[in-house]
Chains A and B, each alone.
Chain A
Amino acid sequence: MKVSVVLEHLWRLFTAFQILSEHVDIINTRMDSEDDDAIYDDEHEDSYNESGSDQGDESDFDIDCDEPSTPKRPHVNDDFHYECLTPEALVSHMNDIIDEVNNVFQLPRPTARILLSHFKWDKEKLLERYYSGDQDRLFSEAHIVSPNRTNPRPVPSKRVNTRSSSASTEANCEICLTTTHVSTFVGLECSHRFCHRCWKEYITTKVMDEQVGEHISCPAHKCDILVDEVFVGQVVKDTKVKTRYHHLIANSFVESNRLMSWCPGPDCQNAAKANYHDALPVTCLCGYTFCFGCGEPVHEPVRCAWLKKWIKKCNDDSETSNWISANTKECPKCHVTIEKNGGCNHMVCRNNNCKADFCWMCLGPWEPHGSSWYSCNRYDEKDAQAARDAQAKSRQALERYLFYCNRYMNHAQSAKFETKLYSQVKQKMEEMQQHNMSWIEVQFLRKAVDVLCLCRNTLKYTYVFAFYLKKNNQSVIFEDNQKDVEMATETLSEYLERDITSECLSDIKQKVQDKYRYCEARRKALLDHVYEGYETDIWEYIDYD
Chain B
Amino acid sequence: MSGGLPRRIIKETQRLIAEPVPGIKAEPHEENARYFRVSIVGPRETPYCGGKFKLELFLPEEYPMAAPKVRFMTKIYHPNVDKLGRICLDILKDKWSPALQIRTVLLSIQALLSAPNPDDPLANDVAEQWKVDENKAIETAKEWTRTVCQRQIVHTSLSGLYKSLCARYQ
Q: Which of A201, A205, A221 contacts B97 (CB 8 A)?
A: A221
Binds A, one of B7-15, B46-54, B73-81: B7-15
Are the C-beta atoms of A175 and B12 separated by less than 8 Å? no
Partner of A175, one of B8, B62, B66: B8
B98 touches A (CB below 8 Å): yes
Is B28 an interface residue, CB under 8 A from the partner?
no
A220 with B8: in contact, given A201-B65, A202-B65 (CB under 8 Å)? no
User: Chain A interface: which size bin?
Assistant: 10 to 19
Minimum CB distance partner of A175 in chain B: B98
For the complex, is A219 an interface residue (Cβ under 8 Å from B)?
yes
Contact of A221 with B62 in the complex, beta carbons under 8 Å? no
Contact of A205 among B12, B65, B99 (CB under 8 A): B65
Partner of B7, one of A178, A220, A221: A178
Chain B residues with CB under 8 Å of A305's CB are none
- Name the B residues within 8 Å of A178 (CB-CB): 7-8
Q: Once the chains bind, are B11 and A220 in contact (CB under 8 Å)?
A: no
Mark interface residues in A211-228 (1 if CB within 8 Å of B CB, else 0): 000000001111100000
Whose C-beta in chain A lies nearest to the C-beta of B15?
Answer: A177
Q: Which of B49-69 contact A (CB under 8 A)?
A: 62, 64-66
Q: B91 in the interface, Cβ–Cβ < 8 Å?
A: yes
Of A174, A209, A222, which is within 8 A of B62 by CB? Answer: A209
| B interface, size bucket | 10 to 19
Is B99 touching A175 in the complex (CB atoms < 8 A)? Answer: yes
Contact A219 B99, beta carbon cutoff 8 Å: yes
Q: Across the interface, do A202 and B12 meet the contact criterion of CB distance under 8 Å?
A: no
A335 to chain B, nearest CB (A): 26
Distance of A198 Cα from B6 Cα, bound (Å): 12
**Interface presence of A167 (CB below 8 A):** no
Interface residues of B in 78-136 (CB under 8 A from A): 91, 95, 97-100, 104
Q: Chain A residues near B12: list those with CB within 8 A.
A: 177
Asked if B99 and A221 sit within 8 Å, CB to CB, the answer is yes
Inter-chain contacts of B98 with A (CB < 8 A): 175, 198, 202, 219
Output the residue of B6, B66, B91, B98 with the most chain A CB within 10 A. B98
Which of A175, A192, A209, A220 is close to B64, meaning CB atoms less than 8 Å apart?
Answer: A175
A178 smallest CB distance to B (angstroms): 6
In the complex, whether A176 has a CB less than 8 A from a CB of chain B is: yes
Q: Which residues of A are found within 8 Å of B95, using beta-carbon distances?
A: 222
Residues of A within 8 A of B6 (CB): 176
Q: Contact at A176–B100, with CB atoms within 8 Å?
A: no
Contacts of A201 in B (CB 8 A): 65
Residues on A with C-beta less than 8 A from B62 are 205, 209
Given contacts A194-B99, A209-B62, 6 further A-B contacts (CB under 8 A): A176-B6, A176-B8, A201-B65, A205-B62, A221-B99, A222-B95
Chain B residues near A (Cβ < 8 Å): 6-8, 11-12, 62, 64-66, 91, 95, 97-100, 104
A-B pairs with beta carbons under 8 Å apart, 7 shown = A174-B99, A175-B99, A176-B6, A205-B65, A209-B65, A221-B99, A222-B95
